[in-house]
Structure 1
Amino acid sequence: MPYRAPISDYSYILNNVVGFSQVAGTEKFAEASADMVEAILGEAGKLCEEKLAPLQREGDLKGATLENGVVRTTPGFAEGYDGIKEGGWVAISGDPEFGGMGLPMAVTTAVNEMMSSACLSLQLNPLMTQGQIEALEHHASDDLKALYLPKLMSGEWCGTMNLTEPAAGSDVGALRSKAEPNGDGTYAISGQKIYISWGDNDFSENVCHLVLARLPDGVPGTKGISLFLVPKYIPDENGNPGKANSLKVVSLEHKMGLHGSPTCVMQYDGATGWLVGPEHGGMAAMFTMMNNARLGVGVQGIGAGEGAYQHALAYALERKQGRSPVENGTGAIIDHADVRRMLATMKSDLFAARSIALACAVAIDMGNATGDREWKARAAFLTPIAKAFGTETGIRVAELGVQVHGGMGFIEETGAAQYSRDVRVTAIYEGTNGIQSMDLVGRKLMDGGEAACALIEEIVEQAEAARAQQPRMAEAVWNATEALRDATEWMVSQTDMNERFAGSVPFLLGWARVLGAHFHLRAACAEEGDGPRTRLARFYIHRLLPEHAAHFAHATTGAADLYALSPDDLSAA
C-alpha cells in the first residue's frame, strides 16, 4: 500500500489547533509563513512517498549486517539517505550560520513524523544527528562547532549518542568508560557502549559519536561524567576524514524490529576525543540531546502509527467478508461496527498525539524565540507526555492495525506486523515511558504545579468558550479537566516521591487523554458545520476521554498496595 503524507492534517493542526501563528509572529521565525511551511511539508512529503516508503519493507527483510567489522546497510538505504541529505532535511532547525535552515522545531517535528511513517529504520539516522547538532550548538567550543556542525548539517557526516553500557542502563551514573587527558587538548576514550543506534553505516563520510565517560578526577555518579566527541575518522588539517580512530563495532544486536537500523555494540580503545562542555558537565550537555530526541522519539511512535493506520484502512476498504450490516454498504469489512471502532480509535488517537507533539514543539520554538520562562516551562512539561503518549499511541495503533487485518495481520507477507515490531522499542529508548512519567510527577512538578496549572486553566477557558458552539463536548472536556486538576493537586501534595511514582504512568496517560480532548475540541470549533474533524472529535471525547477517570483513580491510590505484595506473592504459583 503506498504511503500518503498527511500534509492537510499538519497544516490544520498548526494553523487552527496549536497556535503556530505565534511562532511565525516572532522575529526569529518571521519567514515561517503558512505558505512557506506548507510548501516545505509538501516537498518533504514527496521525498517520503517516493523515495523512503519503498524502503520500509526492504529494511525489514534485508536488515543491516556486520561483515569483517564493516556495517553493510539495507540495499537502497544509501540512495534514500542521499535524498534526505540533498534536500537539507537533516538540519531543518539548525543554525543557518553552519548551513541549517533555521526553521522552527514544529516544522522539523512534522517532517520527522512523515519520515518515520515512510521508513522508521532509516529515519532514526538523521534523528540522532539532529540531537547531536543541538548538543554541539549549545555546549561545544567554537572550534568544534566550526569543524563539525557544517558537516553534520549537510548530512555528509552522521552523529550518534553513546550513553548505555552493559552495567549502566537507565542508571547512567554507573558507567565505567574512562577518559584520560592526552596533554594536547584531546582525550583517550576507553570503554564499551551498547544499544548504539546507527553506530556505523556505509554511506556517510564519517560517523561522529558523543560519548559519556569519566575523567580520572570524576566523582562517582552522574556528577562525575563528562561528554566527548569521538569521530570514526579523525579530521585532518583540512577538516576532511583522516586516519581511523581507535574504535570499532563489535557486533549488531538481533532485534524484534527495526532490522534496517544497525544497533551496535561499540568498543573504544584509547580513541581520540574532544571535550564537549565543561569537565564533569556531561549530563547537562547530553540532556540537551536527549530532550531533543525524546520529542523526536514520540514523533517516531506517531509516524509508525500513521503508517499502520493507512495500511489497515486500505485493507478494510478492500477486504470482503460476510454480509454488510448497513444499508447500501460497500461489502468490505469497514462496514462492520467493530472494524469502524478500531479505525476511529486509531485515527482519533493519532490526531491527539500529533497535536500534543506539535504543541510541545511550538512551546520549544516560543521559548527559543522569546526566552520567556513560561514557554520554556511548558515545553519541559509537555516533553515527557509527548514522548510517552506518542509512543504508546504508536504501539496501540500498530496493534490494532494487526487486528483489523484479522488472521492476515499475523502473516508477515501483509506487512502489518512490521509496524508493531518496529514501533515497540520507542517506548523503551531515550528513557522508558516509566521514566518519562516519573519525570512528569517529579521534576516537572517541582514548581509546585505552576506549569501544569497554567495548562489546566487554558483548557478550562477554551472549554468554556466552546460551550455555545459544541455544548456537549465542551461540558465533557470541562468536567475531565476538573478531575485533572484534582489529580494534579494530589500529586503536588505528596512529599513521599514513591507515592507519586506508584501512579505516575496512569497520571501521564490521564493528562494525555485530557490534552487530546482539548485539541480535538479546538479542531471542531475551527471547522464550519458538522465536518469530519468535528465528527472525529465527538468520537474521541465521548468514547475515549472517559478513560481519564480510571487513570486518575489509579494515579491517586498511592504506593501502599504495591508494596503490600511481596516478591513471593508475585512469584509464579
Structure 2
Amino acid sequence: MAYISPVQDLTFILSHVVNISALSETAIFAEVTPDVTEAILTEAGKLCDQQIAPLQRPGDLSPAQLRDGVVRTAPGFSDGYRAIAEGGWVGLAAPVAYGGMGLPMALNTAVNDMMAGACLSLQLCPLLSQGQIEALSHHASDDLKSLYLPKLISGAWTGTMNLTEAQAGSDVGAVQTKAVPNADGTYAVTGQKIFITWGDHDLAENICHLVLARLPDAAPGTKGISLFLVPKWLPDAEGRPGAANGVTTVSLEHKLGLHGSPTAVLQYEAATGWIVGAPGGGMAAMFTMMNNARLGVGAQGIGVAEAAYQQAAAYAVERRQGRTPFGDGPIADHADVRRMLVAMKADIFAARAIALACAVALDLAAATGADDQSARAAFLTPIAKAFGTDVGLAVSQEGVQVHGGMGVIEETGAAQFYRDVRVTTIYEGTNGIQAMDLVGRKLKDGGEAAFRLLEEVQATAEQARTSLPSLAGAVWDASESLRETTEWMVAQTDPSDRFAGAVPYLRAFARVLGAHFHLIAAKAADGTGPRAALAAAYVQRLLPEHASLLIEARAGSAGLYALDLDDLLA
C-alpha cells in the first residue's frame, strides 16, 4: 500500500485537541488561521505522498556510498531533496528576516511527522538543518547569521550536529576535539567525530557542521566545551562555496536501518571554524539545536509508526487466513489482530497529540514570553521524544507481527520500518536520558509544571463526567495516582531513587496525557463515532498500564544494586 499522509488526523488534533487557534490570537502568528493550517498541511501531504514516499524502498535497497572520497546518495534522493528545498519546507518555521516563513513550530512538527512517514532517511537531512537554523538564530554573531541562515533556510546548504566521539557518547563532557585560535579570529578545529547524520552527501552545494570542541586550557567537562561552525567548503568573498576546508569523510557507518541516510565519520585537521556563542558556552548553544531536534525526533517516531500502521492495516484487511467471528473474512476480523491494530492506532494518536501540544506550547512561549508556556514545553519535550519514538518502535514491531511470516520477508517493506525507527530511541539523547531529564531538571521547580498539566487533565475529566462518565472517571483516577507519584519523586533526595524509576514515570505520564487528549477528541466528536470508540479503547486497554508503571517508578534503586556486577555476569 502506498503511504498516505495523515492530513485529516493532524488537522483535527491541531484544531480540536491542542488548540492551535490560540496562536492566531498572538501578534506573530495572527495569520495562522484554520484555512492556512489546512492549506499548508494539504500541500505538504501532496509532496510527501507523490515525491518523498516513493524514495523509501530505493533508499534502503541502494544506500548511500562513499567512493573515491565522494559520497553518492540513493537514487532519487537528490530530486526529493530539491523538491523539499524549493518548496520552502526547510524554512517553514525559520525567521522571516533571513528568508524563512516564520510559521509556528506546531505546523513544522506536523510536516516533519508526514515527511518522516514518507521517508525517514531523507527527512533527517532537512530536520538537522532546521535545528542548526534554530541554534544559529539564537547564538551566532550577526555576520554568521547573515551569511549562513539564508543559505540554510533556502536549502542550498545543509547543516549537521557534531557531538559524538569514540570516547564521548552520552558523556559529552569527554569530548577531546580541539579548537586553536587563528590570528584572523577564526579557529583551527582538529579531531574526529562519529555518527554524523548526513555528514557528507551530494544533495547541496555546501554542508555546515556545528562542532563541539575545546579551546586551549579549557575547563574539564561540559563547562570547557565551545561550539564552532565549520563548513565543508569555505565561503569566498561573495559567500559562495570556495576552497575545501580541512574536513574529510573517513567512512560511512554500516547501520541496522536508515540506509539511505549517510552517517559519516568525519576527520577535522586544522579545519577553519567560527565560534558560535561565548567561549565555554557550547553546550548551551548546542542544546538549542538538540531541544529542537528532540521534538523533531519524537515526530519521526510517530511518522514511521503511521507508515507501519498503514501498511499493516492494509495487509490485515486483504489477507484471509482461518475462520473469523464473521466467517471467511480477512485477518483483521480476528480478535487478536484487531487488538493490535486498535492499539497501534490509539497509541499513534496519543503520541501525535503530545508532540503537537509540546509544539504549540513552544509557539506560545515564543509569541507571548509566558513563563508557564516555556515550562510546559520544557516538561513535554522529553515525553514527546521518548514516547513518540517508543511508539514508533512498538507499532513497527507490531506491524511485522500483523504480517506474520511475511513481515520478516524484506520485499514486503514491513521490516524496514522497524529497522529504520530503531535508532530514534537512541539518538538526540537516549530515551533513558530523556526520562532522567524529566525527573531531574524538569522537577527542579518542585513539580510545578507537572502539577499544572495534571490540573488541566483533571479539569478536562471533570467537564466530561456527564457526557463520558466511564472514560472521564478513569482518566481522573489515573491523573490522581500520577500526582501522588510526582509528589514522591519531588520528595526524593537521592538522585538514584528518581533515576531508577524515571523511565516508567515518563511512560506513565505519557499514558495519562494520551488518555487526556483522547478524551478531548471524544468530546469534540460529541462522544460518538470512531474517535470516541478509539478513545474508549485507549482508556480501557492502554491507560491501565499506568498503575504498574507507577509502582515501578516508586520502587527506588536499592533493589537494582542488590545484584553486583559479578552477579550480573554470572
Which bracket does the TM-score occupy, shorter chain normalised?
Answer: over 0.9
Residue by residue over 1:42-69, the C-alpha shift from the partner in whole angstroms, topping out at 9 and shown as x without a partner, is: 0000000000000000111111100011
Equivalent positions of 1:195-214 (< 5 A) are 195-214=195-214
**Equivalent AA in structure 1 for residue 321 of structure 2:** Q
Return the match for 1:367 from 365, 368, 380.
365
Alignment length, in residue pairs? Answer: 570
Distance in 2, matches of 1:6 and 1:25, equals 26
Distance in 1, matches of 2:85 and 2:233, equals 20
Partner of 2:171: 171
Return the match for 2:557 from 553, 556, 559.
559
Partner of 1:447: 445
Return the match for 2:484 from 483, 486, 500.
486
Residue by residue over 1:401-454, the C-alpha shift from the partner in whole angstroms, topping out at 9 and shown as x without a partner, is: 000000000111110000000000000000000000000000000000000000
Partner of 2:150: 150
- Contact 2:319–2:330 (Cα < 8 Å) also in 1: yes
TM-score normalised to structure 2 length: 0.99
Equivalent positions of 1:342-381 (< 5 A) are 342-381=340-379
Return the match for 1:422 from 391, 410, 420.
420
Q: By how many angstroms is 1:23 displaced?
A: 1.3
Return the match for 2:514 from 513, 516, 519.
516
Q: By how many angstroms is 1:567 displaced?
A: 1.3
Whether 1:59 aligns to 2:59 is yes
Return the match for 2:380 from 366, 382, 397.
382
**Equivalent AA in structure 2 for residue 9 of structure 1:** D
Equivalent positions of 1:173-572 (< 5 A) are 173-326=173-326, 331-572=329-570
Distance in 1, matches of 2:263 and 2:485, equals 40
Unaligned runs of 5+ in 2: none
Distance in 2, matches of 1:552 and 1:343, equals 26
Whether 1:46 aligns to 2:19 is no
Q: By how many angstroms is 1:188 displaced?
A: 0.3
Residue by residue over 1:103-141, the C-alpha shift from the partner in whole angstroms, topping out at 9 and shown as x without a partner, is: 000000000000000000000000000000000000000
For 1:195, what is the secondary structure of its paired residue?
strand
Distance in 2, matches of 1:217 and 1:84, equals 43
Distance in 2, matches of 1:385 and 1:211, equals 27
For 2:324, what is the secondary structure of its paired residue?
coil
For 1:237, what is the secondary structure of its paired residue?
coil
Distance in 2, matches of 1:71 and 1:443, equals 40
**Equivalent AA in structure 2 for residue 567 of structure 1:** L
What CA RMSD, in Å, does the superposition of the two structures yield over aligned residues? 0.7
**Equivalent AA in structure 1 for residue 254 of structure 2:** H
Equivalent positions of 1:26-41 (< 5 A) are 26-41=26-41
Distance in 2, matches of 1:493 and 1:157, equals 48
For 2:352, what is the secondary structure of its paired residue?
helix
Distance in 2, matches of 1:20 and 1:330, equals 45
Distance in 1, matches of 2:498 and 2:297, equals 25
Partner of 1:100: 100
Distance in 2, matches of 1:216 and 1:560, equals 42
Partner of 1:137: 137
Partner of 1:17: 17
TM-score normalised to structure 1 length: 0.99
Q: By how many angstroms is 1:324 displaced?
A: 2.4
Q: By how many angstroms is 1:529 displaced?
A: 4.7
Equivalent positions of 1:58-97 (< 5 A) are 58-97=58-97
For 2:317, what is the secondary structure of its paired residue?
helix
Q: By how many angstroms is 1:330 displaced?
A: 6.6
For 1:170, what is the secondary structure of its paired residue?
coil
For 1:318, what is the secondary structure of its paired residue?
coil
Q: By how many angstroms is 1:142 displaced?
A: 0.3
Distance 1:203 1:278, change over 3 A: same
Residue by residue over 1:179-208, the C-alpha shift from the partner in whole angstroms, topping out at 9 and shown as x without a partner, is: 000011100000000000000111200000
**Equivalent AA in structure 2 for residue 42 of structure 1:** T
Distance 1:529 1:436, change over 3 A: closer
Distance in 2, matches of 1:52 and 1:330, equals 37
Distance in 2, matches of 1:135 and 1:283, equals 11
Q: By how many angstroms is 1:319 displaced?
A: 0.5
**Equivalent AA in structure 2 for residue 440 of structure 1:** L
Distance in 2, matches of 1:330 and 1:306, equals 28
Distance in 2, matches of 1:465 and 1:185, equals 61
**Aligned residues with identical type, % of pairs:** 67
Runs of 4+ in 1 over 2 A off after TM superposition: none
**Equivalent AA in structure 1 for residue 505 of structure 2:** F
Q: By how many angstroms is 1:528 displaced?
A: 2.8
**Equivalent AA in structure 2 for residue 358 of structure 1:** L
Q: By how many angstroms is 1:323 displaced?
A: 1.6
**Equivalent AA in structure 2 for residue 202 of structure 1:** D
Distance in 1, matches of 2:540 and 2:325, equals 23
- Contact 2:24–2:32 (Cα < 8 Å) also in 1: yes
**Equivalent AA in structure 2 for residue 475 of structure 1:** G
